[in-house]
């Protein structure tokens, strides 16, 4: 009897995130493993910064992907990228852990406005304040998705997959100078959009 799993795994690696999430929703552990390979590093980095130590970040990392496995049917590509959804789970689970510990999270020194706002929290916040922070986070997510596809793709590869500009150029098959320009223009448009909507980044 022929074992099809390795071949199916290779084929699945060619799928985009949304398609893989669909397979996860149907119970595919291979699809989950591929998504884990793609995004475990950025989730670990985000969780570690939120919780303040790597061991806690590693523990949360496993819980985040377990939650993604359980809730994959809730993901919709129309509402945002898979990694944004995954980081939203990471953020919420980090906050739950922080509130259990009754301490503040560490601030993340990141140029990504989404992650900057995601890390602004306090265990003494009221329900109303927490709801306001949640709305700010959604505003940031929407802002990224108003960017032209070329600019958004470069920015997401940099901040969600941790690629350097040179690696992004290779990934997208574009000259390094083109990638630098796209990212510079993208971040400028993102800031202008946020300022138009009176969103504070600091």
* DSSP string computed for 13-61: TTS-HHHHHHHHHTT-HHHHHHHHHHHHHHHHHHHHHHHSSHHHHHHHH
Alpha-carbon distance values, 12 to 2, 8, 21, 40, 47 (Å): 18, 6, 11, 18, 27
Check if the beta carbon of residue 143 is closer than 8 Å to that of residue 151. no
Looking at 105, 133, 161, the residue that finishes a domain is: 133
28 and 123 in a common domain: yes
Highest mean pLDDT out of 16-20, 115-119, 158-162: 16-20
* SS3 label, residue 189: helix
190 and 127 in a common domain: no
CATH (domain of 46) = 1.10.1740.10
The reported pLDDT for the residue numbered 198 is 58
For residue 107 the two structure tokens come to 């601030």
b/e map of 161-177 (b: 16 or more CB within 10 Å)?
A: eebeeeebbeebebeee
Please write the tens of the pLDDT for every residue from 120-148: 444 444 555 555 555 666 666 677 778 88
153 and 125 in a common domain: no
152 and 122 in a common domain: no
Q: How far apart are CA 121 and CA 129, in angstroms?
A: 9
76 and 165 in a common domain: no
For residue 110 the two structure tokens come to 């990141």
36 and 125 in a common domain: yes
102 and 19 in a common domain: yes
| Number of structural domains the chain divides into | 2
153 and 69 in a common domain: no
Looking at 109, 133, 157, the residue that finishes a domain is: 133
41 and 95 in a common domain: yes
3 part of a folded domain:
no
Q: How far apart are CA 154 and CA 160, in angstroms?
A: 10
193 part of a folded domain:
yes
| Mean pLDDT value across the chain | 76
Domain that holds residue 196: 146-202
Q: Assess whether pLDDT exceeds 50 at residue 106.
A: no
105 and 150 in a common domain: no
Please write the tens of the pLDDT for every residue from 43-87: 888 888 888 888 888 999 999 999 999 999 999 888 888 888 888
CATH (domain of 163) = 1.10.10.10
48 and 101 in a common domain: yes
């Amino acid at each position: 009897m022929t074992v099809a799993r390795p071949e199916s795994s290779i084929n699945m690696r060619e799928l985009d995130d949304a398609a893989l999430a669909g397979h996860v929703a149907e119970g595919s552990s291979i699809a989950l493993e591929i998504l884990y390979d793609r995004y475990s590093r950025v989730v670990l980095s985000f969780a570690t910064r939120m919780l303040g130590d790597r061991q806690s970040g590693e523990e949360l990392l496993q819980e985040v992907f377990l939650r993604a496995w359980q809730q994959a049917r809730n993901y919709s590509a129309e509402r945002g990228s898979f990694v944004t959804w995954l980081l939203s789970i990471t953020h919420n689970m980090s906050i739950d852990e922080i509130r259990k510990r009754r301490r503040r999270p560490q601030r993340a020194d990141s140029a990504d406005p989404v992650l900057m706002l995601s890390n602004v929290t306090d265990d003494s916040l009221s329900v109303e304040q927490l709801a306001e922070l949640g709305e700010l986070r959604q505003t940031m997510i929407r802002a990224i998705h108003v960017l032209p596809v070329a600019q958004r793709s470069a920015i997401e590869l940099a901040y969600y997959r941790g690629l350097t500009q040179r690696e992004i150029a290779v990934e997208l098959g574009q000259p390094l100078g083109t990638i630098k320009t796209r990212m510079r223009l993208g971040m400028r448009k993102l800031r202008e959009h946020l300022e138009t909507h009176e969103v504070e980044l600091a």
